[in-house]
Amino acid sequence: MSATKDGRRPECKACFDARRRRWYEKNREREIARVRSWQRANPERVKAWREKNRDRRLEKMREIHLRNKFGLTPDKYDRILESQGGVCALCECPPTPGISLHVDHDHGTGEIRGLLCVRCNNALGLFREDPDLLRRAARYVTADAKHRSQRTRSERLTRQRARALREVAA
C-alpha cells in the first residue's frame, strides 16, 4: 500500500502499525538478517547510535528484564522501593549510585519478597535461602566467643569420631 498523491497515508496510524506488525511476524527471520547485515556493514554508525542512545537503551533493557523475569513494570518496582523506604529490605542501606536493588523472589513460587542490595541478595543465595541455615548462622554470630569456640571444638571432635567410625565400618 502506498501513500496517496498528497503524501498522506490511505489508512490510520493504528491500522498501519497493525499491518506492519503482521508483515514483520511473517518476515521476521528475513528482517532480522537484513538488519544484522546492515549493522555488520556499518559498524561506525551502529556504535555512534548506541553511544548516543545509551541511557535510553539501558532503561529499555531494565524494563524488559523486570517484565520478563519478574512480571514487574518499572512503576511497580518503584512502588516496592518506596514501600521499603528506598533502602535494602535486609540491611537497610541505600542502593549504590547507578546500581538498582535486586528483586528478591522465592525460587519455588516466583513470589517477590522485596528488593535487596547485591551483598544481601548474594548472601541469601549462598545460604541457599534455607531458613534453618540462616537461623543457625544468626545464632552463630550472636553467640559469645568462648561459647562459640567450645561448641566448635566439640563439633569438630564429634565429626572426627563419626568419620573414624565410618572408616572402621568400611
Please write the tens of the pLDDT for every residue from 133-159: 999 998 888 877 666 566 667 787 888
Q: How confident is the model at residue 160 (pLDDT cuts 50, 70, 90)?
A: confident
Contact between residue 1 and residue 11 where contact means Cβ atoms under 8 Å apart? yes
Query: What is the pTM (predicted TM-score) of this model?
Result: 0.63
For 29-70, the pLDDT digits (tens) are 999 999 999 999 999 999 999 999 999 999 999 999 999 999
Q: What is the pLDDT of residue 40?
A: 97
**Residue 24 CA: distances (Å) to CA of 60, 68, 89, 170:** 21, 21, 43, 67
Distance separating alpha carbons of residues 23 and 19, to the nearest angstrom: 6
